Amino acid sequence: MARPRGPDLSARALPGAEFALRVTPRAGRNALTEEDGQLRAQVTAVPEDGRANRAVQALLAEALGVARTRLSLIRGATSRDKLFRLD
């Protein structure tokens, strides 16, 4: 069984829900944490050609228990602060 890499957000997996994250690319590991209500993502991917965005999308989808394709990046394609919407 795969080791969980963050909080279980499946209760928040409602259509139209938005998720704001602070992202750290080039981290030592992939992890999703929640501190004081703020989601933080650490990904090992580099921020080139959307690689880090795709890694964050996959990490968030896993925590929500939904398919990666159901998450859309709304804001922050080139920023560390990102906003995803669940379709």
- Domain assignments of the chain as residue spans, ordered by start: 19-79
Q: Which of 49, 50, 73 is nearest to 60 (CA)?
A: 73
Q: Percent of the chain scored above 90 by pLDDT?
A: 89
pLDDT on residue 53: 98
Q: What angle do CA 11, 13, 17 make, to 5 degrees?
A: 120
Could you say which of 3.40.50.300, 3.40.50.10190, 3.30.1200.10, 3.40.1440.10 is the CATH number of the domain covering 19-79? 3.30.1200.10
The helix (H) or strand (E) run that includes residue 59 is helix 51-64
Q: What is the pLDDT of residues 43-81, one digit of tens each?
A: 999 999 999 999 999 999 999 999 999 999 999 999 999
pTM to 2 decimals? 0.91
Burial of 31 per CB tally in 10 Å (0-12, 13-18, 19+) = middle
Q: Is 10 helix (H, G, I), strand (E, B) or coil?
A: helix
Residue with tokens 């999703």: 32
pLDDT on residue 3: 52
